[in-house]
Amino acid sequence: MNGLILLIIGLAGLALILAAFAYLALKAWRLFKRGLRISRGAAPAAAQLAGRAEQAAAAAQRLAANGEQITANLEHLQVTVKRLQVVSQAWADALNPYRAVRDYLGR
């Protein structure tokens, strides 16, 4: 009887260990499937994110080039404004004698 009891206890322990391994295998399988599902969903998103990063880098380069062009145009505009101020002052100085005559004649 003692041998039979030990055999039953041993088989019950073995069954418990196999049940634990089966439970762990089931959890591992579910985790594996979930990982595959996440990686399938994340791979296109990562590729899309990389594409958008490249687009952002290209846009930054375009903005830098546009900024340089704007700076050059502003410098040219400042020179033009100075020239217009000189012309405006010369025009005003040239009209002063005519204004004096006009004011003298009363118009």
Q: Which tens digits make up the pLDDT trace of 76-87?
A: 999 999 999 999
- Exposure string of 86-100, with b = 16+ CB inside 10 Å and e = fewer, is eeeeeeeeeeeeeee
pLDDT average, residue stretch 56-80: 92
State how far the Cα of 104 lies from the Cα of 73, in Å rounded to an integer. Answer: 46
Q: What is the pLDDT of residues 36-46, one digit of tens each?
A: 988 888 888 88
Radius of gyration of the chain (CA): 44
The Cα 26–Cα 42 span in angstroms is 24
Q: What is the pLDDT of residue 34?
A: 93
Q: Please check the confidence at residue 67 and state whether its pLDDT lies above 70.
A: yes
- Copy the structure tokens of residue 37: 């599902």
